[in-house]
Amino acid sequence: MTNKKVLVTGGLGYIGKIVVKELLDAGHCVMIASSSYDGMDLRAVKCPESIFSGAKDIYRRIGSPDVCIHLAWTDGFVHNSPEHMKNLSNHIVFCEHMMSGGLPVLSCMGTMHEIGYWEGEIDEDTPCNPQSQYGIAKNAMRQSLLLSSKDFACTLHWLRLYYIVSNDIGGKNIFAKMMQAAQAGKKNFPFTSGKNLYDFMEINELARLIVVASMQTAVKGVTNICTGIPETLASRVEQFISDNKLPLKLDYGQYPDRAYDSPGMWGNATKIKQILSQNMDTLQD
């Protein structure tokens, strides 16, 4: 893999900080765009420009990177926050100006919530009918960028993420909430039925796959960053409690299942497996 100059937006966020480490460890030159730079890896550099400045020449102003991995997003775990639609145009304008300025590769983070209510496997052609403001905004961004990217010589990756597993106590998903509950000395954790089937992935593996998918151009468009293996939420949460030796007992049925969550949805892993296979072949050459 040739070393490249990579801009990571949201580079100090929940996923971004691990993606940045993966890139730096691989020898790439990494530029971070973030709302705060506390705790930044000193091997990286700060982006000299606000990515939402609206400048048409933003690509040149920030140093003409080879790849942009756009992870920045506000309130990703607050699915009906008004911030999603409020900020949508800023994301689209930034990405389109980067592409029109000459960016070779743009990799954007998608979500299973673009799909909405769906039962079964999801591939790149699965119809979308999002049921939350987060899903609606991400779906609109994907549709807009896939359309506008046809006008530019830019490889666009839309990396659709599923259920992230992490023991980062500073996170906002159910796993972080369990870590916080254990730290607070609680013994019981209120839970849903736990029957929903999802596609779970450890955050370090997720970051690795984001990097591998972003640093190639042979496979593009919508790619599921997934395992392709459905597992019940209850099973994965119980495993997490065991793996992290948390003194918690799940109180099943204390919370209702969300109306917009399907009984089971997981990704088709064909494209990410193809990317991994090609990457392995390249490393062996």
Q: In this predicted model, what pLDDT tens digit does every residue of 114-151 receive, in sequence order?
A: 999 999 999 999 999 999 999 999 999 999 999 999 99
Residue entry with tokens 């730290």: 183
Residue 156: C-alpha distances to residues 13, 38, 70, 145 (Å): 22, 30, 11, 8
- The predicted-structure confidence for 93-108, as pLDDT tens digits, reads as follows 999 999 999 999 999 9
31 CB-near residues (< 8 Å, 6+ apart): 5, 6, 7, 8, 44, 45, 46, 47, 62, 63, 65
Neighbours of 238 (CB within 10 A): 14
Q: How many distinct helices (H) and strands (E) make up the chain?
A: 8, 14
66 CB-near residues (< 8 Å, 6+ apart): 4, 5, 6, 104, 105
**Which segments of 28-132 does DSSP mark as H helices, in order?**
58-61, 83-101
- The predicted-structure confidence for 201-251, as pLDDT tens digits, reads as follows 999 999 999 999 999 999 999 999 999 999 999 999 999 999 999 999 999
Beta bridge partner(s), residue 129: 116
Task: Give dist(CA 26, CA 212) in Å, integer.
Answer: 11
Average per-residue pLDDT in the chain?
Answer: 95
Task: Give dist(CA 26, CA 2) in Å, integer.
Answer: 10
Domains of the chain: 5-164+198-229+261-284 (3.40.50.720), 168-196+231-251 (no CATH)
94 CB-near residues (< 8 Å, 6+ apart): 51, 52, 58, 70
Instruction: State what percent of residues in the chain have pLDDT above 90.
Output: 89
Task: Give dist(CA 99, CA 102) in Å, integer.
Answer: 5
Encoded tokens for 22: 């993966």
For residue 170, name the pLDDT band (cuts at 50, 70, 90).
confident
Active site residue 59: no
Q: What is the pLDDT of residue 172?
A: 84
Greatest Cα pair distance in the chain: 56
For residue 279, name the pLDDT band (cuts at 50, 70, 90).
confident
Encoded tokens for 233: 């939420």
Encoded tokens for 19: 């993606």
Catalytic residue (choose from 59, 134, 163, 198): 134
Residue 157: C-alpha distances to residues 15, 119, 132, 185 (Å): 17, 25, 23, 43
